Amino acid sequence: MSQVKPPLNSVFNRWSYGNAGLTSKTVFQERVLYDSIVFPNLVISNFFDFWDEDRLYGRVNPKGSAVYTRESYLKQLKYAAENETHFAVNFVADAWRDFCDRIRQLKNNNIIQDSGPYADMTASKSWRSASAEYHNYMTNILFPVFSDIFMSLAERENSVKNFGTFLDTFTEFSDTILNEVGPLTFSGFLESGITSPFSTGLVIEISYDDHNDDFNKLKTFFYDDNFPLIVDLCTQYGFSIDKNAPWRFVADIGNEAMQEYIYGLPMEGAEPLNINGLTDCEEPIINDDLNQSVEPFTYSQVLGLEGVIRHSPGYRPYRLSQTTGFANSPYENVFGTAYRDPYELDMLFLQAYLLDFYNRHIIKKPFYEEEPSSANVCNPGAKIIKERRQEGPEVYSVYSDRWSLKTYYLLRCKEKKYQKTTAEKTKDYRKISSIYDLISGSPEQKFNGALRYIRENILVERVSSQSTVY
């Protein structure tokens, strides 16, 4: 469907027409126009840009380490699309409830127009499991690239005789894949552009619109009559708009209003909440009562927002981390409490997928050719056909913790694009081995201690203009 340009005397007179159907040159020109003229003309101060400087927001902590949401800290959203269940981090869900309550109140009082995308907001997209996204990436994207493309070379395919030779071949594959396709470890996946911002639990969308269609963003959302008031209300409840998706609301942990939902406000008859429990299958048991008719409330203590109603008892774990000196900023409180560093899972996950890749590949191609060991055969020069054997988790018993530590170190350095010389790698690995030897405790404790050393002392985040600064 063609896009009809508005008349020149349009009150806004600022338009961009970038979309995925244009040539790369035209898209670039339209994006420059959008970034330099169209969006600045909207004069929006509270926004996030997940295409640029905020791309890692919610996926790395203030120290630069990858993190993902603890599911026990999720809470169901009150206002969601019909017959759908959506979640966000607990304090975000509380803020969302009050935000949507206020919009509905203003609509009933004819202050907000009763038409347009913001008139009756409900969540259509929210939290997604980061580990589920990683599984989909590894099995449906990475494995086909490995099995169907990389292993299509007959010489390479024939070199895989068992799991050990498979690992040798996969090492070669990793050098290629990390440069051309994407990461291998769970931490690397979280740090990449492949991971959805929804995995943070800090993002809620009210529409399924195309993020690449600039004209629709402007016509349907930015230039909607309700939009200026919605932007103002966002700030009152601790949210910001996504620059490239005005139907996306992002919880701004640095906003004082959002911090009132994190730590809570004094409310008569209301105590700070605990986190959710987990079922045996690690599904969150929601400590929620969305249908409660009468409940305690209070008013904001943020200067200028004293009349804004809050249902914000807060959560004990955030208060505890604040009062015990565990952290000294809201970002450290939140990411140190409701999020988990995946470094201890990286090799566990990767080993499981490597074994799966091997077994799936040999199911497709169970035989390989081998040169005869002796010339004294009935058919000189004939190849010997041998069958590959499937393996189980016990195959890793021949690979030591030091192998896993070295593999983790090398992969994470590649994923972070650290340019290390052979001498530097040797020095690092000697130090890692020494740390492993010196740590007391079980093999698991020694291994995790050495992993922690790698993460905290070697994989230090390099300052980048494209990294979110908390």
Note the pLDDT tens digit of each residue in 219-255: 999 999 999 999 999 999 999 999 999 999 999 999 9
Domain end point (choices 235, 253, 271) = 253
Q: Is 299 inside any structural domain?
A: no
Whether 116 and 148 map to the same domain: the answer is: no
Whether 210 and 121 map to the same domain: the answer is: yes
Reduced to 3 states (helix: H, G, I; strand: E, B; else coil), residue 318 is helix
Asked whether 236 and 46 are in contact (CB, 8 A), the reply is no
Total number of residues shown for the chain: 470
Whether 238 and 370 map to the same domain: the answer is: no
Model confidence at 464, pLDDT cuts 50, 70, 90, reads very low
Per-residue model confidence as pLDDT tens digits over 397-426: 999 999 999 999 999 999 998 889 999 999
Q: What pLDDT is recorded for position 190?
A: 95
Average pLDDT over residues 4-15: 51
Whether 116 and 165 map to the same domain: the answer is: no
Least confident of 29-43, 266-280, 375-389: 266-280
Q: What pLDDT is recorded for position 41?
A: 87
Q: What pLDDT is recorded for position 271?
A: 66
Its domain, for residue 187, covers: 130-194+342-431
Q: What pLDDT is recorded for position 381?
A: 61
Whether 157 and 230 map to the same domain: the answer is: no
Q: What pLDDT is recorded for position 156?
A: 84
Per-residue model confidence as pLDDT tens digits over 294-342: 578 899 999 999 999 999 988 989 988 666 555 468 999 999 999 999 9
CA distance 284 to 278: 5
Q: Is 440 inside any structural domain?
A: no
Q: Where are the alpha helices (DSSP H) in 307-400?
A: 316-323, 330-337, 343-364
Per-residue model confidence as pLDDT tens digits over 47-64: 999 998 999 999 999 888
Angle at 357 between CA 154 and CA 339, to 5 degrees: 145
- Beta strands (DSSP E) in 114-197 are none
Whether 107 and 236 map to the same domain: the answer is: yes
Asked whether 264 and 272 are in contact (CB, 8 A), the reply is yes
Per-residue model confidence as pLDDT tens digits over 124-171: 999 999 999 999 999 999 999 998 999 888 888 888 889 999 999 998
Mean pLDDT, the chain, integer: 85
Least Cα distance to 273 among 232, 304, 326, 311 occurs for 311
Domain end point (choices 217, 238, 253) = 253
CA distance 158 to 252: 53
Alpha carbon distances (Å) from 308 to 206, 257, 311, 373 = 23, 10, 10, 83
Q: Is 204 inside any structural domain?
A: yes
Sheet holding 203-205, edge to edge: 47-48, 239-242, 245-251, 203-205
Model confidence at 26, pLDDT cuts 50, 70, 90, reads confident
Q: Is 325 inside any structural domain?
A: no
What CATH number is given to the structural domain containing 44? 3.30.1380
What lies within 8 Å, CB to CB, of 312 at 6+ separation is 91, 94, 95, 98, 260, 261, 264, 265, 267, 298
Q: What pLDDT is recorded for position 118?
A: 95
CA distance 311 to 300: 10
Average pLDDT over residues 417-439: 93
Distance of CA 217 to the CA centre of its chain: 24
Per-residue model confidence as pLDDT tens digits over 193-202: 889 999 999 9
* Tokens at 367, concatenated: 């035989």
Whether 114 and 237 map to the same domain: the answer is: yes
Q: Is 408 inside any structural domain?
A: yes
- What percentage of the chain exceeds 70 in pLDDT? 85
Q: What pLDDT is recorded for position 378?
A: 60
Whether 178 and 70 map to the same domain: the answer is: no
Q: How many domains, the chain?
A: 2
Reduced to 3 states (helix: H, G, I; strand: E, B; else coil), residue 127 is coil
Distance of CA 238 to the CA centre of its chain: 21
Whether 108 and 217 map to the same domain: the answer is: yes
Domain end point (choices 253, 268, 285) = 253
Q: What pLDDT is recorded for position 460?
A: 73
Average pLDDT over residues 451-457: 92
What lies within 8 Å, CB to CB, of 104 at 6+ separation is 120
Per-residue model confidence as pLDDT tens digits over 175-210: 888 877 889 999 999 998 889 999 999 999 999 999
Whether 103 and 222 map to the same domain: the answer is: yes
Q: Is 29 inside any structural domain?
A: yes
What lies within 8 Å, CB to CB, of 351 at 6+ separation is 393, 396, 404
Average pLDDT over residues 437-441: 93
Q: What pLDDT is recorded for position 285?
A: 47
Higher pLDDT pick, 470 / 402:
402
Whether 186 and 212 map to the same domain: the answer is: no
Whether 187 and 236 map to the same domain: the answer is: no
Q: Say if residue 468's pLDDT is above 90.
A: no
Q: Is 6 inside any structural domain?
A: no
Q: Say if residue 1's pLDDT is above 60.
A: no
Q: What pLDDT is recorded for position 465?
A: 34
Average pLDDT over residues 364-380: 68
Q: What pLDDT is recorded for position 200?
A: 97
Q: Is 436 inside any structural domain?
A: no
Q: Say if residue 275's pLDDT is above 90.
A: no
